[in-house]
Structure 1
Amino acid sequence: MSAPATERTERPAAGAARPTDRRTGPRRRSGIPGRLALYGTLTVLALVFVAPMVWAVSGSFKPRGDIFEYPPKLLPDPATLDNFRSLLSDQPFWHWFAVSVVTAGLGTAVAVFVCAMAGFAFAKYRFAGKRLLFNVMFSSLSVPFAVIVVPLFILVVKSGLSNPWFALTVPWVAPAFGIFMMQQYIIQSIPDEIIEAARIDGAGEFGIFLRVVLPLLRPSLGALAVWQFLQSYNSFMWPLVLISDVDHYTLPLGLNILFRAEQRQFDLVLPGAVLASVPTILVFLLLRKQLLEGLSTGAVKG
């Protein structure tokens, strides 16, 4: 007996177009205007962010009288290196450069290690007052640095630690944001089983941190290093309060002197800004892989 007609199901013939295939073309065509709008917006934003740097590089090779000419010219005509010669010979630029790079590098290295160690302690250990200590540390993020700059200056001076090479790194050795970042990354990425296995093998707690935990934190350490280096390298208020000797100025302070001069020496400020951007660009290029991995890991697991 044949099955009722209502129960028969006809299968589409091989090669027959499915209903969903008919809508594929219109869907793709409808997404083109959205993509064009997105790419157009990104292009405009890229131009907005890149334009000041392009103008600074171009102006650093122009005589002072041609920097603000109208209409502006992208390519300097004539191009000159006198601005760089005057900056490097008449101003203590290399002193400012050395102070900024060395203090920012030392502060970043110490901060990355301290934040990783503190984050590991908050993430994997239980001790009395842990929650209170973490809340106090985390709440310090809401305190502006301008509020503590005077007490910090008095503390540094009274302690006899006002040497510029040392004092410039003090505020950046244990940032609350870095500790919180490390703590969250360790909780998400390092299971307790790995640490317990290392303890069973006879490793000490500090050895576990150095040999097991620290290598696994490479992406987050790179992201923290970029952020920390920029914070220290671009610091202006703390060096302004601490340093009185022009030879020990950092780059932001030195360029500020040139900018606030009687004639506003833009022909020296622009090449100084171009040279000052070189360390930050190098840090980003060296740590870009770790930075992108750290950000993508946080985006997926957060």
Structure 2
Amino acid sequence: MITTQASRASHPSHARRASAGPAARRPRLVYVLLIALVVMFVLPLLWALSSSFKHRGDIFTYPPQPLPSPFTLENYTRLLETQPFWGWFATSTVVAVVSTAVSVFVCALAGFAFAKYRFRGKRLLFDVMFSSMAVPFAVIVVPLFVMLVKAGVTNVYFSLIVPWVAPAFGIFMMRQYAEQAVPDSVLEAARIDGASEFGLFTRVVLPLLRPALGALAVWGFLNSYNSFLWPLIVVSDPAQYTLPLGIQSLYAAEARQVDLVLAGSVLAAIPSLIMFILLRKQLLDGLTAGAVKS
């Protein structure tokens, strides 16, 4: 009997089963955790979408109803008819698109300079820029507002765009990616062919930075589009509110218009989804760059 057990233990198939047991459970545990996270994030979105088509009295019924019964579009019609929603939508979208385009270009230019050029004070300048990431935005809100007032810049759109023009995280991200993705030999070959430094950047460097540009564009767009604290300080006219301010004003009203808040939140999520769909390939490529050794 001892011989039989020893022979079974020494058989390759039994050894593989014994060793594969704990290893096989790990992927299952990872899948279970990932599914739980997906459910945790998706359920509130589905609840908001479903409740936006319910009457206000049916939103908080217990037990909760997964599907609206009866189905109604009254929340959307009331929101669009009684509130300047499209003005809020236009302000947020224009500010987010312009600030994203400007910040992507500026961050790529600055990151490329930090990665491939040598100049006096480069290390100190980069350290100061990088250390600013440790300063919460709420700390600089008041000084930034005072600077804009002293400079006489009162245009709402300009004031909303300024904080997102050159984020330290974007410059750091582009610098790290440029060091890996832009070979020095390519730059030297372009200079030998007679390319100017700015032409070198626009024609050679930017195409090589495309994955990182897509990831940075999504990050910058969401930061600007979802910003609440800075527009709260800068904007005073309700007609010029951004979407977060406008939706918050609906809930802050005496009636606590939760039905309109849900409808506005669903409509406000559309640009973010479009942005992600258009740049999902660049976003995934930019986030995974450097994760696998070539």
Letter in 2 for 1:143: V
Uncovered stretches (5+) of structure 1, i.e. residues with no partner = 1-17
Structure 1 equivalent of residue 109 of structure 2: 117
Letter in 2 for 1:210: T
Structure 1 equivalent of residue 253 of structure 2: 261
Larger radius of gyration: 1
Q: CA RMSD in A?
A: 1.6
Structure 1 equivalent of residue 82 of structure 2: 90
Letter in 2 for 1:42: L
**For the Cα contact (< 8 Å) 1:63–1:267, is it kept in 2?**
yes
Distance across 2 between alignment mates of 1:27 and 1:274: 49
Structure 2 equivalent of residue 12 of structure 1: none
Alignment of 1:175-186 (within 5 A): 175-186=167-178
Alignment of 1:165-180 (within 5 A): 165-180=157-172
Distance across 2 between alignment mates of 1:213 and 1:114: 13
Deviations 1:215-242 (A, max 9, x none): 0000000000010011101111110000
Q: 2:121 aligns with which of 129, 138, 141?
A: 129
How does the TM-score come out when normalised to structure 1? 0.91
Structure 1 equivalent of residue 244 of structure 2: 252
Per the alignment, in what secondary structure is the counterpart of residue 168 of structure 1?
A: helix
Distance across 2 between alignment mates of 1:225 and 1:81: 34
**For the Cα contact (< 8 Å) 1:122–1:134, is it kept in 2?**
yes
**For the Cα contact (< 8 Å) 1:188–1:301, is it kept in 2?**
no
Distance across 2 between alignment mates of 1:227 and 1:49: 19
1:35 positional shift: 3.0
1:21 positional shift: 5.2
Distance across 1 between alignment mates of 2:289 and 2:92: 31
Structure 1 equivalent of residue 266 of structure 2: 274
Distance across 1 between alignment mates of 2:284 and 2:163: 27
Q: 2:155 aligns with which of 157, 163, 182?
A: 163
Distance across 2 between alignment mates of 1:110 and 1:181: 16
Per the alignment, in what secondary structure is the counterpart of residue 75 of structure 2?
A: helix
Task: Provide closer, same or farther for how the CA distance between residues 33 and 78 of structure 1 changes in structure 2, counting only shifts above 3 A.
Answer: same
Distance across 2 between alignment mates of 1:195 and 1:19: 59
Identity of matched residues, %: 62
Q: Does 1:206 align with 2:170?
A: no
Letter in 1 for 2:169: F
**For the Cα contact (< 8 Å) 1:108–1:172, is it kept in 2?**
yes
Distance across 2 between alignment mates of 1:124 and 1:285: 32
Distance across 2 between alignment mates of 1:20 and 1:166: 71
Structure 2 equivalent of residue 219 of structure 1: 211
1:20 positional shift: 4.7
1:28 positional shift: 4.0
Letter in 2 for 1:239: P
Uncovered stretches (5+) of structure 2, i.e. residues with no partner = 1-9
Distance across 2 between alignment mates of 1:301 and 1:293: 14
Q: Does 1:69 align with 2:69?
A: no
Distance across 2 between alignment mates of 1:259 and 1:229: 25
Per the alignment, in what secondary structure is the counterpart of residue 288 of structure 1?
A: helix
Structure 2 equivalent of residue 8 of structure 1: none
**For the Cα contact (< 8 Å) 1:239–1:250, is it kept in 2?**
yes
Structure 2 equivalent of residue 3 of structure 1: none
Q: Does 1:235 align with 2:227?
A: yes
Distance across 1 between alignment mates of 2:178 and 2:293: 11
